[in-house]
């Protein structure tokens, strides 16, 4: 019989799965898996040896293995490549900020969206991660951080993959993460980033969980956006901005628009003017991201001058903009490169 993974089950699911045992066992096991970092039944010393052996015959509790760890030279960012039993590997990033510790998780192995500047999409998409696998990225990071007296304070769903394409698993994971028997993480500490799958934004509104929505905009006109992001041919700017407005209105939360500055492509004053125009009057922030160049792609970094001018233009034209610091640029912080390097080695 194939062994079943208990990790990723909610408490009610565990109770059903372990219905032969007294109910409090499910709670003990959940606490051990989700709060105390148990990676096997052997770590659950309050269970009798016999029970541990019985459980281990039918179940397991964690499945990911750390294949690589990279630390940025400034010590602020650590990136892990985690591998699941089927060989699928994903990147998880820890970012140590002065206001707390953030982690960035992947939701798919590879990505099918085809954004022209992005590394995640180079090898296509292999599969969705399960809720348990995404939770494992987080619980792994939490336990890693305990050693430095830190914990996961904020979660950004901005790693590899498109969350709206793995919607149900992402929501299941967030609801589980919110439970007191896991990390009890507030929804307000969570950001979900989408390339602009409009129906997904409306589904997220329906969930009624107050997470921050981040929209990867990257261009101020349909023509340019369709050139660099194929998704724009399906959901255009008018539909996308309307969905962003509806999200802000329904949740009362300001939407973040991500805007990668691609040297010479979308970073001129004219682009800044167009961007300010389409966002004016909207409950929005703009996060400017200097491109992290990908070897296989032909985009250039923006100049320092172009970044500053773009930033200044937005802020003097009524748009609240920030420039993203480049955490861990020396370890390619968020760009799926570790996974691909690992694939190339095979």
- Contact residues for ligand SAH, defined by CB under 6 A: 115, 117-118, 158, 162, 193-195, 216, 258, 260, 289, 291-292, 294, 334-335
Please identify, using beta-carbon distances, which residue of 27 and 297 lies nearer to ligand SAH.
297
CB 71 within 8 A of CB 78: yes
Please identify, using beta-carbon distances, which residue of 29 and 279 lies nearer to ligand SAH.
279
| DSSP β-bridge partners for residue 307 | none
Burial class (CB in 10 A: 0-12, 13-18, 19+), 75: exposed
Please identify, using beta-carbon distances, which residue of 63 and 194 lies nearer to ligand SAH.
194
Closest approach, Cβ 335 to ligand SAH, in A, equals: 6
End-to-end, the C-alpha distance of the chain in Å comes to: 30
Please identify, using beta-carbon distances, which residue of 94 and 294 lies nearer to ligand SAH.
294
Token output for 146: 């305990």
Closest approach, Cβ 1 to ligand SAH, in A, equals: 37
Closest approach, Cβ 321 to ligand SAH, in A, equals: 15
Neighbours of 242 (CB within 10 A): 12
Which contacts qualify for 127-131: CB closer than 8 Å, 24 or more apart? 127/88, 128/161, 128/165, 128/166, 128/169, 129/90, 129/161, 129/166, 129/169, 130/8, 130/169, 131/8, 131/169, 131/170, 131/172, 131/173, 131/176
Please identify, using beta-carbon distances, which residue of 179 and 326 lies nearer to ligand SAH.
326
Collapsing DSSP states into helix, strand and coil, what is residue 78? Answer: strand
Closest approach, Cβ 193 to ligand SAH, in A, equals: 4
The residue behind tokens 């993974």 is 5
Q: Write out the catalytic residue numbers.
A: 91, 335
Closest approach, Cβ 68 to ligand SAH, in A, equals: 20
């Amino acid at each position: 019989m194939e062994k079943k993974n208990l990790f990723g089950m909610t408490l009610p699911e565990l109770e059903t799965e372990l219905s032969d045992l007294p109910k409090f066992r499910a709670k003990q096991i959940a606490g051990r898996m989700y709060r105390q970092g148990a990676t096997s039944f052997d770590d659950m010393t309050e269970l009798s040896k016999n029970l541990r052996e019985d459980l281990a015959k039918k179940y397991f509790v964690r499945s990911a293995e750390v294949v690589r760890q990279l630390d940025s030279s400034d010590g602020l960012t650590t990136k892990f490549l985690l591998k699941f039993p089927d060989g699928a590997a994903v990147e998880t990033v820890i970012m140590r900020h002065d206001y707390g510790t953030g982690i960035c998780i992947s939701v798919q192995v590879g990505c099918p969206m085809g954004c022209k500047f992005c590394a995640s999409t180079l090898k296509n998409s292999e599969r969705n991660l399960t809720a348990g696998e995404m939770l494992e990225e987080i619980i792994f990071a939490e336990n890693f951080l305990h050693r430095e007296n830190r914990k996961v304070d904020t979660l950004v769903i901005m790693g590899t993959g498109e969350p709206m394409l793995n919607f149900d698993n992402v929501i299941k994971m967030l609801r589980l993460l919110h439970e007191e028997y896991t990390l009890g993480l507030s929804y307000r500490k969570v950001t979900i980033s989408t390339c602009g799958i409009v129906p997904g934004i409306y589904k997220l509104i329906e969930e009624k969980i107050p997470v921050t929505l981040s929209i990867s905009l990257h261009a101020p006109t349909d023509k340019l956006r369709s050139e660099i992001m194929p998704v724009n041919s399906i959901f255009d700017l008018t539909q996308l901005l309307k969905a962003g407005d509806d999200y802000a209105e329904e949740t009362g939360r300001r939407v973040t628009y991500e805007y990668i500055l691609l040297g010479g492509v979308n970073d001129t004053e004219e682009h800044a003017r167009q961007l300010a125009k389409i966002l004016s009057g909207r409950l929005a922030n703009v996060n400017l991201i200097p491109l992290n160049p990908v070897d296989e792609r032909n985009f250039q970094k923006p100049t320092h001058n172009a970044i500053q001018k773009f930033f200044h233009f937005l802020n003097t034209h009524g748009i609240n903009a920030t420039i993203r610091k480049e955490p861990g640029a020396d370890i390619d912080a968020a760009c799926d490169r570790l996974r691909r390097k690992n694939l190339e080695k095979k």
